[in-house]
Structure 1
Amino acid sequence: MEAMIEEVPSGVLVVDKDSGMTSHDLVAITRRQLNFKKIGHCGTLDPMATGVMMLVIGKATKLQDRLMSEDKVYDGSLKLGETTGSQDKESDIEEVREVPAYSDVEIKEGFEHFVGDFEQIPPMVSAIKKNGVPLYKLARQGKTVERKPRAVRVMDYQIHRVGLPEVDFTVHCTKGFYVRTYAHDIGQQLGCGAHLIALRRTRSGKFDLSRAIKTEDLKVASRQEIIDKMIKLDEIAEMLS
């Protein structure tokens, strides 16, 4: 067994996460396929989200904090006129409001309010802990607690489609950014409310989907196929320099 562990090189495996899976699911699958335990992940993705999930393997686990601190790019879709407790489509609709016939300019003004440095209040349905208890567990008990605002930054955004009540967009942001809170806050700014209905992470730092292994392929991949897909430590060092 020791020899087998030594054969696994250290590095990063970029996975294109499927919807409905958690970050922990991907770690468990990879541990099983590699028969290797020293594997972690760089930042969670909500179960409904798809896209770039970085798994750190072996000595690369020491780079976890550095890799998690990088900026991210997401493609998302929001739906105006409806708000939910989780700020996305994963929970029940709490309020419905009429969606005015906004022009493209008015939609853009809503997005423009959230550019540069600003603060977000994390959603109750999140992994942030209050007195050691994750907020999502408190939310399940019907509790709402005060959350401290977090400093975030949007470097850039694009609106790709306005088909009211839906809007498709891309946002380039700092770590710790909640895209569902972004969608919620844009809805509040516009005056009709909104929630996130789709989310895909396309880039995390310098890691993107171009070198990702699909979740369905990861489940059946051989040990060697996974090793071949990994980005090794020497290349990561160059990427981070």
Structure 2
Amino acid sequence: MSGPVTPGLVIVDKPGGITSHGVVSRVRRLAGTRKVGHAGTLDPMATGVLVLGVDRATRLLGHLMLTEKGYDATIRLGVATNTDDAEGEVTATVPAGHLSEEAIREALAAFVGDIEQVPTAVSAIKVDGKRAYARVRDGEDVQLKARPVTIHELTVHDVARVSASGDNATLEGTHTTDLIDVDVSVRCSSGTYIRAIARDLGAALGVGGHLTALRRTAVGPYTLEHARTIDQLNEHYELLPIADAARAAFPAYELDAEQAQEVRYGRKLALSLDALTAVFAPDGEFLALYEPAGEMARPLAVFTG
């Protein structure tokens, strides 16, 4: 690409087997700029919605990370791993074939609402300046503190005895009929670890559990319908303009010319807002994000210039 870089979002359907940083690198080449970031990482095993910001739109990403997210996942009961997913080493197996579907659904229902969740030990959370996953990789025993998260909705689609064999989540002497796969959809707050739900469900049922599949279906208003595969982007680089992205993610307020000039100076406005709001110039240009401040509104992030 030549000329000025257009700021906006690129919604990618991340394939499995590639890191989020790997996707960022590819979009940097397509966009013609190194100023590309993502709104929440996905593990290499995971697929689905990865929201990338280009140029000034990278400054939107920190606010997008505060939104709800949606996932489809498969939880395998009967096997625990050291990463809480299928990429880790098996640490324990306990036959789960005796569990009823009713018991599994009842246990999962306990996770809905405001809960305290201990993040997976191989998360990107920093412990004394070092990523937790790096400490685990170095052989350290990492104990993370519980954090408040919200599970808005958890839907169970299927509960099935496993009939396939030969995966990395079985040990010698463990029959596949001892394992159960649970297909779920989750709508949750940012910061929720679906792997931790699998781990904690297995612990609650006394059999261990881990994820065998994870697909992110939504980040805020951006869903798989908006996402494009890497191959599709290679054929036609498609970017959601920053103004459209802001309108999709936040309440919008249309300013008059005088107010727009005040925003360009980074000043407070005599506006009564109920939430973080995207404000626009009379010509439709996205100017800033403003937040309530009593009877006024103050700039949280200004995107002009």
* TM category, shorter: over 0.9
Cα deviation digits, residues 57-110 of structure 1 (max 9, x gap): 111111111111101000000110000000000111100001143222111111
Contact preservation (8 Å) 1:5, 1:36: no
Aligned to 2:102, the other structure's residue is in SS state helix
Residue number among 155, 159, 162 corresponding to 1:162 in the alignment: 159
Q: How does 1:219-234 map to 2 (within 5 A)?
A: 220-221=234-235, 225-226=236-237, 229-234=238-243
* Partner in structure 2 of residue 26 of structure 1: 23
What is the identity, as a one-letter code, of the residue corresponding to 2:239? M
Aligned to 1:111, the other structure's residue is in SS state helix
Q: How does 1:49-198 map to 2 (within 5 A)?
A: 49-164=46-161, 165-198=180-213
* Counterparts in 2 of 1:217 and 1:187: CA distance versus 1, 3 Å: same
Q: From the two aligned structures, give the one with the greater helix fraction.
A: 1
Larger Rg: 2
1:150 Cα deviation from its structure 2 partner: 0.9
Cα deviation digits, residues 138-191 of structure 1 (max 9, x gap): 111211132111110100111111102111000110001100011110111111
Contact preservation (8 Å) 1:17, 1:214: yes
Higher relative contact order (CA 8 A, sep 6+): 1
Residue number among 217, 225, 228 corresponding to 1:213 in the alignment: 228
What is the identity, as a one-letter code, of the residue corresponding to 1:138? R
Separation in 2 of the partners of 1:60 and 1:53? 14
Separation in 2 of the partners of 1:145 and 1:138? 7
Q: Output the aligned Cα RMSD.
A: 1.3
What is the identity, as a one-letter code, of the residue corresponding to 1:170? S
Aligned to 1:211, the other structure's residue is in SS state coil
Aligned to 2:108, the other structure's residue is in SS state helix
What is the identity, as a one-letter code, of the residue corresponding to 2:246? A
1:5 Cα deviation from its structure 2 partner: 4.6
What is the identity, as a one-letter code, of the residue corresponding to 2:194? V
Contact preservation (8 Å) 2:121, 2:143: no
Separation in 2 of the partners of 1:78 and 1:98? 15
Separation in 2 of the partners of 1:146 and 1:113? 23
Report the identity percentage.
Answer: 39
1:216 Cα deviation from its structure 2 partner: 2.9
Q: How does 1:12-23 map to 2 (within 5 A)?
A: 12-23=9-20
Q: What are the ranges of 5 or more consecutive residues in structure 2 without an aligned counterpart?
A: 162-179, 252-305
What is the identity, as a one-letter code, of the residue corresponding to 1:64? L
Is the deviation greater in 17-26 or in 99-108?
A: 99-108
What is the identity, as a one-letter code, of the residue corresponding to 1:238? R
Contact preservation (8 Å) 2:126, 2:132: yes
Separation in 2 of the partners of 1:123 and 1:93? 15
Separation in 1 of the partners of 2:158 and 2:112? 19
Aligned to 2:122, the other structure's residue is in SS state coil
Separation in 2 of the partners of 1:13 and 1:69? 18
Aligned to 2:225, the other structure's residue is in SS state helix
Separation in 2 of the partners of 1:193 and 1:183? 8
What is the identity, as a one-letter code, of the residue corresponding to 1:215? I
The count of corresponding residues between Structure 1 and Structure 2 is 232
1:122 Cα deviation from its structure 2 partner: 1.3
1:236 Cα deviation from its structure 2 partner: 1.8
Separation in 2 of the partners of 1:34 and 1:118? 40
Separation in 2 of the partners of 1:192 and 1:146? 21
